């Protein structure tokens, strides 16, 4: 299991790489790497994706192709003509526009798949740890919201069934009332129950210290500096350099205030993950892909307009994109190592990583 931050960077890198190209070859490479990583790392992991990437593609690709074909009338290979009196859609429907639309849909699929993997492999608590320490309570709320989603989906299903056996049919908007009301009420009941359970477990006993005035003042000063810099930037192009500096000062001030607040939050972290070589390796892989995506813009560029051509493929950049495969390699290597270890060693205390206090 990799660090949640590494997974976040991985998902972002995939996003950047996918947005940088419309060449079908690179997109397919990215789609394959994402699916391999998902298959090895997210297999059997709990939170199910609400929609499989394949299903997403089945909707996104045709829809995007259709939309692009109807609204963009560039390209030389005309398939048919729509009468010109139809606003926006009237004109030539071209093969190039269909292709470009389909490629857009495929790009969206890659991004969707990457974030599905991220969502599946990161436990809720690790997501909370991605939030700065000062926002600990916000993080807890986020975590509760995330645990609430599957519960709510299940109760929605139950309530729909329960209403159906009373002869209820959903025909119009009003017919949703017998489903929405119990869903809301049971959600509220559950929220009250959870609040009670959290209080009974001592939540809120120590972690909310009163913010000292100084940190509050610091945040206000930081925000105002930031705003002043931004306004200066907008007003006069000649001021742009000093304005950026002022913005930076504002940002640093706010960051400092958040850090100060974080120090006041009194809680500890259970089994804080220690950084592993695998994490560094995966991060390195992402960096390689990222550099390739930024530097190789010209090679990544592909446009089907005005006439559909075969896309070119730079093997070096293709290879660099395989950097995104590192999480899968790390996972397989780790599983392999664990399988070859003495079975007794895998149990109890010895297996777990070291604990440490949270400095996040």
Q: How far is the CB of 323 from other proteins (least distance, A)?
A: 29
Q: Which is nearer to other proteins, 194 or 258 (CB)?
A: 194
What SS3 state is found at 170? Answer: coil
Q: Are the C-beta atoms of residues 323 and 34 closer than 8 Å to each other?
A: no
CB of 175 to other proteins, least distance (A): 10
Taking the least distance from each CB to other proteins, the nearer of 151 and 240 is 151
Smaller CB separation from other proteins, 77 or 155: 155
Which tokens go with 172?
């119009």
Closer to other proteins by Cβ: residue 83 or 202? 202
Which pairs from 125-132 meet CB under 8 Å and 24+ separation? 126/3, 126/4, 126/273, 127/4, 129/4, 129/269, 129/358, 129/360, 130/4, 130/5, 130/8, 132/258, 132/259, 132/262, 132/360
User: Which residues of the chain form contacts with other proteins (CB under 8 A)?
Assistant: 46-47, 123-125, 128, 140, 143-144, 146-147, 150-151, 155, 158-159, 161-169, 177-178, 181-182, 185-186, 189-190, 193-207, 266-272, 347-349, 352, 355-357
CA distances 201 to 194, 206, 250, Å, are 10, 12, 39
Shorter beta-carbon distance to other proteins: residue 199 or 332 = 199
- Closest approach, Cβ 269 to other proteins, in A, equals 6
Residue 66 near residue 101 (C-beta atoms within 8 A): yes
104 with 18: CB under 8 angstroms?
no
Alpha-carbon gap, residue 265 to 206, rounded angstroms: 8
State the minimum distance, in angstroms, from the CB of residue 166 to other proteins: 5
CB of 156 to other proteins, least distance (A): 10
């Amino acid at each position: 299991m990799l660090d949640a931050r590494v997974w976040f960077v991985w998902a972002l890198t995939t996003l950047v790489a996918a947005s940088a190209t419309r060449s079908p070859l690179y997109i397919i490479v990215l789609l394959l790497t994402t699916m391999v990583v998902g298959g090895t790392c997210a297999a059997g992991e709990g939170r199910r994706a609400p929609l499989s990437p394949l299903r997403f593609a089945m909707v996104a690709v045709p829809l995007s192709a259709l939309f692009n074909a109807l609204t963009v009338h560039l390209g030389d290979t005309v398939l048919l003509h729509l009468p010109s009196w139809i606003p926006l859609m009237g004109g030539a429907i071209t093969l190039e526009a269909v292709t470009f639309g389909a490629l857009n849909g495929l790009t969206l699929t890659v991004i969707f798949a990457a974030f599905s993997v991220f969502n599946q492999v990161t436990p809720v608590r690790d997501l909370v740890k991605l939030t700065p320490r000062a926002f600990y309570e916000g993080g807890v709320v986020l975590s509760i919201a995330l645990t609430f989603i599957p519960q709510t989906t299940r109760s929605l299903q139950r309530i729909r069934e329960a209403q159906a056996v009373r002869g209820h049919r959903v025909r119009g908007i009003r017919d949703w009332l017998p489903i929405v009301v119990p869903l809301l009420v049971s959600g509220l009941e559950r929220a009250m129950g959870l609040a009670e359970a959290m209080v009974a477990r001592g939540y809120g006993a120590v972690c909310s210290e009163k913010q000292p005035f100084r940190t509050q003042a610091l945040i206000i000063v930081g925000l105002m500096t930031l705003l002043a810099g931004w306004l200066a930037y907008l007003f006069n192009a000649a001021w742009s350099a000093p304005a950026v500096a002022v913005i930076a000062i504002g940002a640093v001030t706010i960051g400092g205030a958040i850090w100060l607040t974080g120090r006041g939050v009194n809680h500890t972290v259970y089994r804080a993950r220690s950084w592993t070589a695998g994490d560094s390796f995966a991060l390195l892989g992402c960096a390689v892909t990222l550099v390739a995506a930024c530097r190789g813009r010209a090679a990544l560029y592909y446009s089907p307009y005005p006439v559909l051509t075969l896309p070119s493929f730079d093997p070096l950049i293709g290879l660099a994109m395989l950097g995104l495969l590192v999480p899968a390699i790390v996972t397989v290597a780790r599983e392999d190592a664990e399988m070859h270890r003495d079975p007794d060693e895998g149990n109890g205390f010895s297996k777990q990583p070291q604990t440490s206090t949270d400095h996040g």
